[in-house]
Structure formats: C-alpha cells, structure tokens
Structure 1
Amino acid sequence: CAADIGWVTGHSYIVYAPLMLGATSIMYEGAPDYPKPDRVWDMVERHGVTVFYTAPTMIRMFMKYGDKWPKRHDLSSLRLLGSVGEPINPEAWVWYYKKIGKERCPIMDTWWQTETGSFILTSLPITPLKPGSATKPFPSFEADVLNDDGEPITGRGGHLVLKTPWPAMLRTLYKDPERYVNQYWSTFPGVYLTGDVARKDEDGYFWLQGREDDVLNVAGHRIGSAEVESALVSHPKVAEAAVVGKPDPIRGEIIAALVILRSDVNPSPDLKDELRNHVGEEIGHIAKPSMIGFVKDLPKTRSGKIMRRIIKAKVRGEPVGDISTLANPEAVAALDEMV
C-alpha cells in the first residue's frame, strides 16, 4: 500500500490487516517518484510484491511520467491491484490495468470512510469490473443513491446513503453526540448520509463523483468536480487536473481547473480552448471551465490525494490555512505561477 501510514488507509492496509493475516508488507520512506519515477516499480520487482494499493492521484502521476518507467521492470509478481481514497477516472483505471497489471490483474476499487471502519463498496474477485466504478456494496451492506426528497434514483448523481447498520460503524463523535446525529442521521431519518455524491447505473454499479461540498453549482446545474477532472484527464495532452468552484455574481459559481500537462506538451492559449471544448464534448457546454491554469504540480498529501481545499483557497484569494500534512508544500507557492 502506497498510502501514508498516518491515514486510516495507511495503518489499516499497512499495519493492522497484514499483521492479522500474517502477510508480508513492504514499507519505504520518502516520495514514490524519488530519486527516479520508477522507484515503486523497482520495489515491486526486487521484492516480488503481489498486491499493490495506491490512490488515483498517484496513478495519474505515474501516467504523466510515461510508460517507459514501468516497462523497465518485471511486474509479473503482481496478482492484484487496488485503488482507494478518491474516485478513479476511467482513463487512469485503464492505464493501471494495462500498463501495470498487464491486463491480468483485477483492480479492486474500494469506497469507504474512516467513519465506516470497513469497506462498503468494493468489487470481489468474481465481480465483473467497469473502469471507474467502485462496483457494488459488500455482501450484507445496503447502499443507495437518493435525491433531495429522499427518493432512490438511477442514472444521475445524488446523495450516497447506507440503509443498514454494520459492525464497524461509528457510534458517536467524541464529546459531540448532537453533531453526530445532525451530520449523519438527520437529513434522511434512519439512513446514514455519507456526505459523498454518487451515481448508480442500470446494473446497480456505483460511480463516485466526489464529496457533497465538491459539487459545483453552475447556473443552477449541479456538476461533480470529479466528472470535470475525468473529462480533462481523458484528453491525451493532460496528465492531472484539479477542479474547484470560484464564486461568480451571475452564475453562482464558475468552474476553475488547474491542469498538469504531459511532459512533452507546452502550454498555450489555444490549448486552453481545446481543453474547454473537449470538456464540452465529454459532458456538455455547461461544464466547460471558465478558468484554466497550467501548473507544474498540485498540492498533495503524503498518500497522494490532491488537497482541493488549498487549491480552492488560492483560486478564491483566501488564506490557505494549515499545510503541514502536504508532501509537497512548495506546490502551494507554485500555484501563484500558473499560466
């Protein structure tokens, strides 16, 4: 597991579960792309790693460096790949599956929370996979997607909820039981509100779209930031993207996108127009970013998750707050140099 050990994913996947199962874990210190972008693949080859878990942001970072780095190493020991921490866009899923798993390793894309204490949405070894989907609830869990009136919906984004209790569920918030009830149980009585937005398709597969507070309200249209990011990353010249909302007096919010280009691509005004039109074709005209900035890096936690809170503050001209958990604090100042 390539997560930082300070996060719930890190100590659950790296410490507790492997020790309970008597499995061998590989631990390392430092960045996954230092001193070279193939540091992780070198470890896989040297130590015969069989199960590899990481975050979608890290997968997109590896995509940015190109296929040549994993090609230098024998990755045949791998039998299972995992993705966790945020929604994985289909393009990153396919790259991971083809370039790292060589089309023979299933990808276990899991969704859960620190609050849930266990997987909720996850594929099983027998589950047919769909690139970008966290598939279906783990056996015995009942999840659903509701509209604002509490009615189940399919084919469009809504509130991800859990309808049945589970052994590892949180039972209160420390010294704040009232907030626990208000935050998780009051919007839809008797139903656990996760705070995430998801879509359930006609086959019952769940597609995570981001946190409720990451959903943009553009001229009355609710647009998931993850949807726009996925559309941008599907462009062959884009390696990574982060999307946030910027207040606008007319439209409520406008879409602001920070983009990292692939190493052989140069930024230009024409490319910004090209990317806007690409998003329009992928999602619709309303989802076109009003602002696009090209950057060399994005602020990320040590587990590889993009810190959208900091990006949002920068875009809005607000204080960025605490950055002590960042793996690359220098990226914050670099946002001022976007082109």
Structure 2
Amino acid sequence: MMNLTPAWKPEDQMIKQTRLYKWMHSLGFSTYEAFYEASIERTDWFWREAEKAVGIKWKVPYEAALGQNSFMWPKWYKGGQLNITETAVDKWAENEETQHQSAVIWRNERGEERRWTYLDLQDKVNRLAAGFLKNGLQKGDVAVIYMPMLPETVAVMLAFAKVGVIFSPVFSGYGSEPLAVRIRASGASIVVTGSSVTRRGKTINMRECAEAAIHKTDTIKTVIVHTSSHIEYEGDIRLNDLLKEDPMSETTYLTNDDPLMILYTSGTTGTPKGAVHTHAGFPVKAAFDAGLCMDVGAGDRLFWLTDMGWMMGPFLVFGGLINGAAIVLYDGAPDYPDEQHLWSFIHKKKVTHFGLSPTFVRSAMQQNLTSIQLPHIKAIISTGEPWNEAPWQWLFDKIGQKHIPILNYSGGTEVSGGIVGSTLLRPIKPVLFNAAILGMAADVYNEAGQSVTNEVGELVVKKPWVGMTCGFWKDTGRYEDTYFRRFDGVWTHGDWVMQTEDGTFHITGRSDDVINTAGKRVGPAEIESILVGHPAVHEAAVIGVKDEVKGEALVCFIVTSSQSFEDEGLIGELKTHVGSHAGKALTPKEIHLIQALPKTRNGKIVRRLLKGAYEHKPSPDLSSLDNPKVYTSICEYLKRNQNSV
C-alpha cells in the first residue's frame, strides 16, 4: 500500500516567505484553495495578474489577457507587443543592483567552467543578433539549434528571439536521421551546431552529423558553427566571429501571434509533433511555474539535469532568467568521471533548485555515494515520469536529509510547464502531487467523460491557459485530433491519473501505456512500484502483450539490485510478490532479468522499445537513447530466451 502520511510539512514562517504566499495575499486570498478556484474561474483576470507577477515588459500594452475565448485556438494578450529578451535579460542587465549577478553558470564533464553575468549575457545576445541580421537572417526564418548545453546555446536562443527568428532546439545526442526529420518538418533554413561534444570522455563530431542530416534535406541555406576544433566546412559561419560584431541596440517587437519556437516531441508514436510556442506563451508559463510554484527568485540558482532539446531545457532558460535567477548548465554524463562528480558540482555552485527525474534517482541509489551535503538546496523538483515509493523515500531521506521538499511536477512540451504539481503551502506525501497548478483547470474523467475521484481516469484540462501550444507546426488537424477529439470541449492530456477529495493527484503512467488484462485496467507504474518494492529489484518496466485468455498479459523487465539471486527462483518469487499485492489476475505472464533498461538521455524508460523487441519488430532509430547498446542486448536476449512469440 502507498504511504499517504505526509513526509514533509511546511512551517508557518517558511510559508509566509514564499513568493506565492505574498502574491496570493496581495490579491486578497488567504488560502490556496480559494485562490485556485478564482484562478480557473476568472481566466482573463488570473493570467493578467500572472504576467505582472513575473514582471513581463511590454512595448505596447495589451487590451485583454484572453482576447478570444476559443479553447482550441485562444488569443492571448491581444494587441500587446513585446520582445521576451527585454524581460529575461535587459531588465536585469540594465539594473545596477543586478547586472553583475550570475546569469549563466556552466561546467562540463572535463571540469571546464564559465560564468556569465547578466551584463555579459546581454552583450553576447546583442552581438549575435547583430551578426544574424548582417548575414541575412530575418523575422520569420526558422532555425534548428543542434548544440550541447553551452552558455552560447542560451545566447543563440535569446538572440534569435531578439530578431524574430523562430528557433527549434533539438536533442544534442540525435543522429543524422532524427535531425533530418526535424529539419524537414520545420522547413528550417538555418542550422546552428557545435563542432563536437564530449560524452564519457569520448568526442562526438556534431558538425559531421549535421552535415549528413543537411544532405538528406533541401531547405538549409545557412550553417552557423560553434567550433572548438580546426575542422570546418566551406561556407560555415563561425559563431565566435558573430560574437565580435558591434552589439545591436534595436529590438524587434512582436505580438503574441508571432511564433517564438517550435518544440518537437520525442515522437514515441508516429512522426514527431512540433508544438508551436509564442513570445508571451511559453516564457510566461515557464516563468510563472518556476517563480510562483517552485519559489525561484532573483539570486537563486536553478539547475535541471536536461538537454536543450527536451522541454525542460527552454523551461530552465526562461523560467530561470525571467525570475532573475542564475541558470546552471551541465554538459556531460552525470556519473562521469566519477559518481560524486555531479553532486559535488551542485554543492560547489550553490544550486538552490535542482530538477531531476526518478530514473536518475534510481541509478544514484545503486552508486557508491559518500556523504552528500547540499546546504543551499531549497527544493528538489521531479518531472519526466511517475515515481515508485522506495526511490522517492531514498531521495527525501538521503539527499534531502528529511527536510528538503520534493516538488513533483507534471505537464509537457505542449503545455509549456505543469498541469499538476506540488505547492510549498501544503504538506507533501511521497510520490503524489499535492495540487493542481494555479490557472490549470485540471480534472480526471472516466471513459464516459464523467469527472471522478478515487478512481483512475484520464487527466484533462477544462479551460485554456497561457502557454498551451498554438497548434502543431504545419499540422493543425493533428493537434485538434490529439487533444480535443476524445472528450468534447476539453484538453485530454494522455496521462492516467487518480484524484482524491483533498485535491491530491497520483499519476500512474501514460494512458496509451495502459494495460487491459482480464478486464482490469492497470498502468505500468502500478506494477513497477510493486516490483521495485521487492529488495531484489533495482528497476522495472512493464508492458502489455496480446494474450488469448486475458486479452493482454503483463510482461516485466527487471534490473536486479544484486546478482546473488538465482534466476528461476527469483522470477517465481517476483510473480508471487506481484500477485499477492495486486491480485492474482495481475500476476505477470513473464519476467525477464536484464542488465539495464532502454532510457532517453533525460532518464525516461522507453517501454515502446521493450514492446517492439518482445514482438520482434524492426529496430527503430535509437539515437535518442542514452545507451543504444542496451536495446540491442535486450533484442539478442529475447531471441535466445523467448518461446512465446
């Protein structure tokens, strides 16, 4: 059974020091519950107050926060004009009290470090913007950013925003084919890339990969390279040369109808979806969630273990900088050259807010970590996948020393942030989300489209919010089909969730991962949590496969905590363990003991690859995986041991 006793309770003095408490009371509200209800009932009023709370600068004031109340196609901040770089950079760089504060702090796995102040960042952005215009780039052009986690990557994104170029950051670990897919989908005419990237001490030639992708497309006209080597291609524009241009003083002002960036999903089904985000959409939502929900403020240091191609990369940039915090970047493997490396970095750089995934924590549990001291951490934020209770408790006890709150946070690329999360104004229970996020009219529907509590159903949002994607790039029909066809008039997010009467949420997995076995619907995370609760199990992933009797049967892939267990004995024991906790009908059909699970670089377990390997489907593109060899070894293992398919 899940522990429903709060593990962390806020003290009154701490509550009163949060930005959320002060803002809420300034607007006349004394409880989170009352404020939340107002935030979803008075949509225009709330998002007007929200942008004020994070200090958005407008060149031309808007007429109304919600100018067109169409859920699928709302119009936000009608009539307003702005450029988000003035809020994210210039506001702090032109203030004598903040201009010398850290804006970007960076380190790579080789131990190289750099620090830029807000004044430094402004200078880099303005020089790049001038160089972009000098080389013929203009408002409305589309640029793919294929770069490591570097300070220059941040400057490039902001410089594109300054001149109105639409940018699309993609995962720095992609091979040429997924990179080419995104170039073709976006119609990009510009690629910005690095010459190389180092992972676990090995140098990977990014420029070569970009060249291979460009040859598979026909739209690229300009290639800009941040070079750290002597390898160059004819016609390349060197980023370092652009940084020598005289700084640009003028700014391109845009309306909220103008796209800021295109964020492509990982494409777990079909071709990747390009979520379109605008200048007062994604940045406002990211800044609001970071500042008012996570309590990130001026002078704080926000770090997320991510890549700029994942949603939390741009979230880090806009959520941190708009709130006047320093954004902390790490480029490399978190456990290289040793397991203490990342933790030491977080400590030395005085990180105050640390974003991670449950998978990262499960890996850390198996490492030989000595004493972890994080005296500056105010909150640990978790996103990316559902928790199991044991890893959550380990993180809270060992890393958080039983006093640092763990803020669960879940939304997505198309949301610009979170739908449900954890507020610092309420107690926090292990694994769970203690609130819907302000402004997000979240609910849980059953199959008949009825609102339910204490019952697992589909997570939906019943009103529009700032930050929701303005459709998919060049594919509006797919956007409408993806989110608005399941239930009429509401956004169906695709998560399987249970909500209790007190507003607590428990996400059990993606609804398209739901397994229907013997008439019972079960999310993979439910069975995985039971398995991880066994002392022999380090990690688990569960899939559903066709079964003549049950419709679908459970097949489990297990990474053990120790190699001292006998395979056959352990498999039988684990089947009994699941059956005794979940019911005999949910006893797994098969359990496979493997060395590792296939994961993306940001820590998500890719269950579709396990299912594909089980069903002997052709090998897909694996360039988004942290270690593609894991998938290959699983395929080989199944061919040797599988008799059921």
The reply to whether TM is greater than 0.5 is yes
- 8 Å Cα contact 1:79-1:101 kept in structure 2: no
Q: Which residue of 2 aligns with 1:30?
A: 332
Tell me the distance in 2 between the aligned counterparts of 1:204 and 1:188: 22
Structure ID, larger Rg: 2
Where does structure 1 lack aligned partners over 5 or more consecutive residues? none
Please give the TM-score of this superposition, normalised by the length of structure 2.
0.50
On the 8 A contact 1:261/1:267 being kept in 2, the answer is: no
Aligned partner of 2:436: which letter?
P
Secondary structure of the equivalent of 2:418? coil
> Which digits, 9 at most, give the CA deviation of each residue in 1:1-55, with x for residues without a partner?
1122210112312x22222223223322222122322222221233222221111
Instruction: Provide the secondary structure at the position in 1 that maps to 2:596.
Output: coil
CA contact (8 A) 1:246 1:256 kept: yes
Q: 1:271 aligns with which of 546, 570, 590?
A: 570
Tell me which amino acid in the other structure corresponds to 1:328.
N
Task: Give 2:395's aligned residue.
Answer: 96
Letter matched to residue 184 of structure 1: Y
Partners of 1:35 and 1:278 in 2: how far apart? 38
Q: What's the counterpart of residue 303 of structure 1?
A: 602
Do the aligned partners of 1:64 and 1:263 also contact (CA within 8 Å) in 2? Answer: no
Distance 1:220 1:228 in 2: 16
Aligned to 1:42: 344
Select the residue among 138, 145, 151 that pairs with 2:450: 151
User: Is the counterpart of residue 127 in structure 1 residue 426 in structure 2?
Assistant: yes
1:289 aligns with 2:588: yes
What is the CA–CA distance in structure 2 between the aligned matches of 1:119 and 1:61, rounded to whole Å? 25
Distance in 1 separating the partners of 2:566 and 2:469? 47
The partner residue of 1:18 within 300, 316, 320 is: 320
In structure 2, list runs of 5 or more residues that go unmatched: 1-303
Letter in 1 for 2:555: A
- 1:112 matched to 2:411? The reply is yes
Aligned partners of 1:5 and 1:173: how far apart in 2? Answer: 19
What is the Cα deviation at residue 121 of structure 1? 0.6
Q: Which residue of 1 aligns with 2:364?
A: 62
Q: Tell me how far apart the structure 1 counterparts of residues 569 and 383 of structure 2 sit (CA, whole Å).
A: 35
Deviations 1:134-155 (A, max 9, x none): 2221123221111111111122
Stretches (4+) displaced over 4 A: none
Tell which deviates more after alignment, 256-265 or 201-210. Answer: 256-265
- 2: distance between equivalents of 1:148 and 1:168? 27
Change (3 A) 1:49 1:264: farther
Partner of 2:311 in structure 1?
Answer: 8
Asked whether the equivalents of residues 79 and 104 of structure 1 are also in contact (C-alpha less than 8 Å), the reply is no
Q: 1:230 aligned to 2:529?
A: yes
Indicate the percent of aligned positions where both proteins have the same amino acid: 37
Provide the C-alpha distance between the structure 2 equivalents of 1:183 and 1:254, rounded to a whole number of angstroms. 27
Give, in whole Å, the separation in 2 of the partners of 1:95 and 1:264.
21
Q: Tell me the alpha carbon deviations over residues 242-292 of structure 1, each in whole angstroms, 9 at most, x when there is no partner.
A: 111122223221111111111464352111111112212222222222111
Distance 1:150 1:30 in 2: 45
DSSP-derived class of the 1:119 partner: strand
Q: Partners in 2 of 1:166 and 1:58 — Cα distance?
A: 31
Using the alignment, how far apart are the partners of 2:637 and 2:329 within structure 1?
Answer: 35
In the alignment, the residues of structure 2 paired with residue 132 and residue 181 of structure 1 have an alpha-carbon distance, to the nearest angstrom, of: 32
In the comparison of the two structures, how many residue pairs are matched? 335
Cross-structure match for 1:174: 473
RMSD: 1.7
Query: Which whole-Å CA distance do the structure 1 matches of 2:498 and 2:319 have between them?
Result: 30
Greater Cα offset, 21-30 or 227-236: 21-30
Query: For the residues of structure 2 that align with 1:315 and 1:171, how far apart are their CA atoms?
Result: 37
The one-letter code matched in structure 2 to 1:4 is D
CA separation in 1, counterparts of 2:387 and 2:594?
21
| SS at structure 1 position matched to 2:411 | coil
Counterparts of 2:578 and 2:322 in 1: how far apart (Å)?
46
Shift of 1:176: 2.2
Partner SS state of residue 419, structure 2: coil
Distance 1:333 1:179 in 2: 32
